[in-house]
Structure 1
Amino acid sequence: MLKDLSVAAVLPASDISRARDFYRDKLGLEPDNPEATDNLMYKCGNGTAFMIYQTPNAGTAKNTQMGWQVADLDQEMADLKSRGVVFEEYDFPGLKTENGVATMPDGERGSWFLDSEGNILSIATMP
């Protein structure tokens, strides 16, 4: 029943104004509700969307909270780096990044970065 429906992510922000600036300046995204003061709605490709809402709980998750699938990881990383995005380096069992990129056994490549609120975001290619 849910498998044919669109999904949307919900991300916390302790400072909604700072988050708006990050998503605009670093990721090139503008909210669909620019007049809002307690939540921001963003639409992305293929009918997907995400919301950022004001809460003191922001930045407490230690897992990837949202990600984008990209055709060219290296190009997307270069674009984001040129806007000041810093990619994380990880060295966990089964996941090690080199220059911010992890390559999975199935060929998927991914990178992670933090938004202004401490949320872990990713970009990844699919094999």
Structure 2
Amino acid sequence: MLTESTITTMLPVTDSERAGHFYADFLGLKQTGTGEDGTQYFAAGAGAIGLRLMPAGTQSENTALSFEVTNLRSEVSALEGRGVRFQDFEMEGLKTVDHIAELGSERAAWFTDSEGNVLCLHEMLT
């Protein structure tokens, strides 16, 4: 059943070594294997991230994946300490303060990986 399946999110990368460095060293994820197609996989909770070698320009301008965290401010601070640069927004319907946006029942912060994929951290509010 799909509801019991492990999900792998495939992200396009133009430089697999640079991307591997970003996901391992900046985000602290562990490499779990390499596929025949050259894809490297990193554990991410109950799922995985596959880094697939693709031509430049295949990255989406929208959020490709989001990590749910229990303490967003702490995670943002920790990732900034490793060199991750968060995006700030000030537009109708979306404004960040210290990189964090309040979005109804959650908070979120966005950054890009070494390949230009947009990633997000989000925290559900109680």
- With normalisation by structure 2, the TM-score equals 0.88
Q: 1:80 to 1:2 in 2, by over 3 A?
A: same
The whole-number CA distance in structure 1 between the counterparts of 2:121 and 2:57 is 20
- TM-fit CA distance, 1:2: 4.0
The whole-number CA distance in structure 1 between the counterparts of 2:51 and 2:76 is 23
Matched, 1:93 2:81: no
- TM-fit CA distance, 1:8: 2.3
Q: 1:83 corresponds to which residue? A: 82
The whole-number CA distance in structure 2 between the counterparts of 1:53 and 1:34 is 10
Aligned length: 125
Q: 1:5 to 1:30 in 2, by over 3 A?
A: closer
113, 116, 119: which one pairs with 2:114?
A: 116
CA contact (8 A) 2:68 2:121 kept: yes
The whole-number CA distance in structure 2 between the counterparts of 1:116 and 1:10 is 15
Query: What's the secondary structure of 1:118's corresponding residue?
Result: coil
Q: 1:59 to 1:118 in 2, by over 3 A?
A: farther
- With normalisation by structure 1, the TM-score equals 0.87
Between the aligned residues of both structures, percent identity stands at: 34
The whole-number CA distance in structure 2 between the counterparts of 1:36 and 1:24 is 20
Query: Where do 5+ consecutive residues of structure 2 fail to align?
Result: none
Which one has the bigger strand percentage? 2
The whole-number CA distance in structure 2 between the counterparts of 1:36 and 1:29 is 21
The whole-number CA distance in structure 2 between the counterparts of 1:7 and 1:36 is 19
